[in-house]
Amino acid sequence: MKKKAAFLFPGQGSQAVGMGLDLYQEYDFVREIFDMVDDITKTHISSLCFKGPMEELTLTVNLQPAMTAVNLACLAALEKEGAQPDLAAGHSLGEYCALRAAGVINLEDTCKLVFQRGHLMHRESTKHKGAMHAILGLNIDDVRKIVEAAQEKGVVAVANHNTAEQIVITGAPDAVESASEEATTRGARAIPLRVSGAWHSELIRGAEKDFGAFLDEIPFDEPKRPVLFNVTAAPESDPDGIREIMARQLCSPVRWFDSMCRMQEEEVEVFAEVGPKKVLTGLLRKIIPDTHEHEVYNVDGMKGLEAFLKAVS
């Protein structure tokens, strides 16, 4: 019997100079994906992926289409070999590639959406200075209480619930710093993240209406397979419901921990991180216990693709 498989798509923070190059050199259809992204963005995104510099690649307006191009290239290589997931999920930005993997949106619209998303998020980040810190060593209830108390200093919220005790907070720099200081007094570690805005917070609320209007212009189909959404940690089959969830995703917490626990409940046995680096693999190892029989693969280029296909064939 075929093992139940999930494709997981990384987001911002998984970028690396050189990402996607081996697939670009190997496949015509991957070159077409990068050419399309360059055309949509009117920027040499492919060159930034392959050669950098990292500072320019990491700018939100460039990074969102760049990460998406590489994720889509990895997905296209899998699909060419007949590999399809039973479930899909993506971390924040990666959720758009999960929608593509589920047949909700087409390739071109995936790229258009993330380019618009990056542009609007960048616009809001220039209006409102923001910060994000990873809090390690406290559970979600403790972090929520700390965040609530720090809100007298300004906007601060939970951005990502990544594992049981790895939680990212987001908001105005002073409020985030105050929450981090309180977390450290309770024995946690607080690590500032290199980001240009307070993603998943009220400080980018100004992007939501414009992005919602853009979403309304894009055709959405019913998913061919379930996507577990960041906002709800649950599937949604209605295209209009999916649109509404994706508009809310900008300012809502990423419920990654809950989504991965749901996949365990759904008896997923094979997890493939489809895209660069191993951020989601690292999180998965902290969430799924050894008692749950499962395998984890990284499809980040030709080597990872071949290893995955060999293992599941």
Q: Could you list the active site residues?
A: 92, 200
Altogether, the residues listed in the chain come to a count of: 313
Query: What is the 3-state secondary structure of the chain?
Result: CCCCEEEEECCCCCCCCCCCHHHHHHCHHHHHHHHHHHHHHCCCHHHHHHHCCHHHHCCHHHHHHHHHHHHHHHHHHHHHCCCCCCEEEECHHHHHHHHHHCCCCCHHHHHHHHHHHHHHHHHHHHHCCCEEEEEECCCHHHHHHHHHHHHHHCCEEEEEEEECCEEEEEECHHHHHHHHHHHHHCCCEEEECCCCCCCCCHHHCHHHHHHHHHHHCCCCCCCCCCECCCCCCCCCCCHHHHHHHHHHHCCCCECHHHHHHHHHHCCCCEEEEECCCCHHHHHHHHHCCCCCCCEEEEECCHHHHHHHHHHHC
Radius of gyration over every alpha carbon of the chain, rounded to an integer in angstroms: 19
CB 200 within 8 A of CB 121: no
Question: Which amino acid is located at 56 in the chain?
Answer: E
Nearest to 167 by CA among 195, 142, 185, 199: 142
